């Protein structure tokens, strides 16, 4: 006993040292979450449209997920899933413009309880003010590209002068400089870019005007055999607006987004869109296919120019991490809230279970853990994001989270990893008349059930038909496969406790 008493101070010191080491080795974590940024516009994914050297830095320094998926391809619900690790039907945020229940379990609040400082800066878009964060400075709703308002922690709203992507970067770096350096931190950098109506920074206007982008191979999709695709309202040909989206003779007096410009900004902007874009449009006297092709070119050029600022500012943030020494113990994640159509099927926007909106860019740099240049082909879903971040912090995920930490994948362990992912989209009929649907995505196939004013199934072989042009549902050769996929889909519905989908399945 006396010997134990003599050893007690040493044991206590060892415990304190071990605890302190655990605290100091908890990594800092930065999650950069953009809006509507398509993987097709990222050179790390092989984009032929543009180069994204700074986003690529994250992929080169860590891991690139090639099949990162979302459970509901729309802005607010994706953010709700990030915060909760749960599908939309359980976190209650199934569609935009609702009020998110902020009182439920959120992983940043759990991080706070385990020594982390937490912050969210930029786009939030959940109807409620943030909780679970020591600091926040967010855009109201969708936010504005130029001279945007920000709501600071405490509820004060003020206008900031400048371009939104640069401002979000500036505010993020300022918080990093002023934080409590005795604690690890978790910060979300919530980007507005590349959301509609795609207003580029002044310095990026016309950045791609000398490029004639080829139309996607299925741009003139006739939607044969696909009822939901026939009835959507998200085509570049018919839905995209010349004045509002493409700035052809934009209403600079009545449209509120232009009233935010200062005189110098407005002059540069108008000189480009009136003297060049609108003048070109008037001179060409476009109609029919030539008009649609012109609209596509203007859409892509504005979209990519908006993404150019996003990439540049991510570079600013990465440079700060390097210069401050923070990069040595900081996990950096880049993702979008979902994918986006850049003319595939003749579309813009997202929503469908089809690949361009289902798949989202996702890459992670984790010094000392992830081998640079790692490529991960396994299916990962955004319900996995919260459990993984907690896992990196050494904190167990609560049982109510439906996702699984992907940290083992980063270390090369694929044991018992999912072979199929679940999806459920709800928002209908506005704004784009995409029928609600749920489905299953495996490594080779997608099976989807559309409902609400339609009652149709679709089946795609992703290896033979990666552009998802040929609906195989009902073909005799795929009868057994369809039955197997339906059974797997039912199992996922039951596992994830989606009562609405189960009722629809029972009605077939």
What is the pLDDT at residue 424?
98
β-pair type (63-65, 374-376): parallel
What is the pLDDT at residue 226?
98
Q: Taking 50 as the threshold, does the pLDDT of residue 181 lie above it?
A: yes
C-alpha–C-alpha distance, residues 79 and 287, integer Å: 40
What is the pLDDT at residue 116?
98
C-alpha–C-alpha distance, residues 138 and 158, integer Å: 11
- Inter-residue contact 93 to 77 (CB < 8 Å): yes
- Inter-residue contact 364 to 333 (CB < 8 Å): yes
3-state secondary structure string, 349-379?
CCCCCCHHHHECCEEEECCCCCCCCEEECCC
- Inter-residue contact 79 to 72 (CB < 8 Å): no
3-state secondary structure string, 376-413?
ECCCEEHHHHHHHHHHHCCCCCCCCCCCCCCHHHHCCC
**pLDDT one-digit tens code per residue, 43-94:** 999 999 999 999 999 999 999 999 999 999 999 999 999 999 999 999 999 9
Burial class of residue 227, CB neighbours in 10 A (0-12, 13-18, 19+): middle
Q: With b meaning 16 or more CB within 10 Å and e meaning fewer, what string describes 190-206?
A: bbbbbbbbbbbbbebbe
Instruction: Please state, for a pLDDT cut of 70, what percent of the chain lies above it.
Output: 95
- Inter-residue contact 138 to 120 (CB < 8 Å): yes
Q: Taking 60 as the threshold, does the pLDDT of residue 332 lie above it?
A: yes
**pLDDT one-digit tens code per residue, 106-143:** 999 999 999 999 999 999 999 999 999 999 999 999 99
Q: Taking 50 as the threshold, does the pLDDT of residue 28 lie above it?
A: yes
What is the pLDDT at residue 16?
40
Q: Band of the pLDDT at 8, cuts 50, 70, 90?
A: low
What is the pLDDT at residue 307?
98
98 three-state secondary structure: coil
What is the pLDDT at residue 366?
98
Q: Taking 90 as the threshold, does the pLDDT of residue 14 lie above it?
A: no
- Inter-residue contact 245 to 197 (CB < 8 Å): yes
Q: Which DSSP symbol is given to 276? A: I
pTM (predicted TM-score)? 0.94
What is the pLDDT at residue 6?
56
**pLDDT one-digit tens code per residue, 157-177:** 999 999 999 999 999 999 999
Distances 365 to 29, 55, 369, 459, 468 between C-alpha atoms, Å: 10, 11, 9, 35, 32
Q: Taking 60 as the threshold, does the pLDDT of residue 9 lie above it?
A: no
179 three-state secondary structure: coil
C-alpha–C-alpha distance, residues 350 and 353, integer Å: 9
> Which of 254-263, 293-302, 375-384, 401-410 is predicted with the least confidence, judged by mean pLDDT?
254-263
**pLDDT one-digit tens code per residue, 236-292:** 999 999 999 999 999 998 888 999 999 999 999 999 999 999 999 999 999 999 999
Instruction: Please state, for a pLDDT cut of 90, what percent of the chain lies above it.
Output: 93
What is the pLDDT at residue 21?
41
């Amino acid at each position: 006993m006396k010997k134990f008493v003599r050893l007690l101070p040493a044991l206590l010191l060892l415990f304190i040292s071990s605890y302190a080491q655990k605290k100091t080795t908890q990594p800092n974590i930065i999650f950069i979450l953009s809006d509507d940024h398509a993987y097709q516009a990222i050179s790390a994914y092989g984009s032929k449209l543009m180069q994204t050297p700074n986003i690529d830095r994250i992929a080169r320094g860590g891991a690139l997920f090639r099949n990162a998926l979302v459970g509901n391809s729309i802005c607010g619900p994706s953010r709700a899933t990030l915060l909760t690790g749960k599908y939309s039907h359980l976190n209650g945020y199934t569609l935009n413009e609702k009020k998110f229940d902020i009182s439920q379990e959120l992983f940043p609040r759990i991080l706070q309880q385990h020594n982390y400082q937490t912050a969210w800066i930029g786009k939030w878009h959940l109807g409620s003010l943030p909780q679970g964060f020591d600091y926040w400075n967010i855009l109201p709703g969708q936010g504005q590209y130029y001279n945007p308002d920000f709501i600071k922690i405490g509820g004060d709203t003020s206008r900031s002068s400048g371009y939104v992507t640069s401002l979000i970067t500036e505010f993020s770096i300022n918080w990093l400089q002023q934080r409590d350096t005795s604690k690890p931190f978790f910060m979300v950098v919530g980007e507005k870019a590349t959301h509609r109506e795609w207003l580029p920074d002044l310095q990026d206007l016309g950045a791609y005007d000398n490029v004639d982008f080829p139309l996607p191979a299925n741009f003139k999709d006739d939607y044969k055999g696909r009822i939901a695709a026939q009835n959507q309202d998200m085509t570049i040909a018919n839905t995209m607006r010349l004045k509002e989206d493409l700035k052809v003779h934009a209403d600079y007096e009545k449209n509120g987004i232009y009233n935010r410009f200062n005189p110098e900004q407005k002059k540069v902007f108008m000189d480009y869109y009136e003297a060049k874009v609108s003048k070109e449009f008037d001179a060409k006297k476009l109609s029919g296919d030539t008009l649609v092709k012109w609209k596509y070119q203007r859409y892509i050029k504005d979209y990519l120019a908006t993404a150019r600022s996003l990439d540049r500012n991510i570079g600013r943030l990465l440079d700060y991490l390097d210069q401050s020494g923070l990069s040595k113990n900081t996990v950096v994640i880049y993702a979008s809230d979902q994918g986006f159509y850049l003319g595939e099927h003749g579309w813009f926007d997202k929503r469908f279970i089809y690949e361009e909106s289902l798949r989202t860019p996702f890459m992670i740099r984790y010094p000392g853990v992830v081998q640079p240049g790692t490529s991960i082909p396994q299916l990962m879903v955004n319900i996995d994001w919260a459990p993984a971040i907690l896992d990196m912090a050494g904190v167990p995920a609560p049982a109510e989270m439906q996702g699984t930490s992907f940290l083992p994948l980063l270390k090369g362990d694929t044991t018992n990893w999912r072979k199929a992912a679940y999806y459920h989209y709800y928002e209908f009929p506005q704004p784009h008349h995409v029928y609600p649907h749920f489905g299953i995505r495996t490594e080779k196939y997608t099976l989807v059930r559309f409902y609400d004013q339609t009652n149709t199934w679709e089946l795609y072989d992703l290896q033979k038909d990666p552009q998802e042009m040929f609906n195989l549902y009902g073909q005799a050769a795929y009868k057994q496969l369809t039955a197997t996929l339906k059974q797997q889909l039912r199992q996922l519905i039951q596992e994830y406790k989606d009562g609405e989908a189960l009722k629809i399945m029972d009605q077939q």
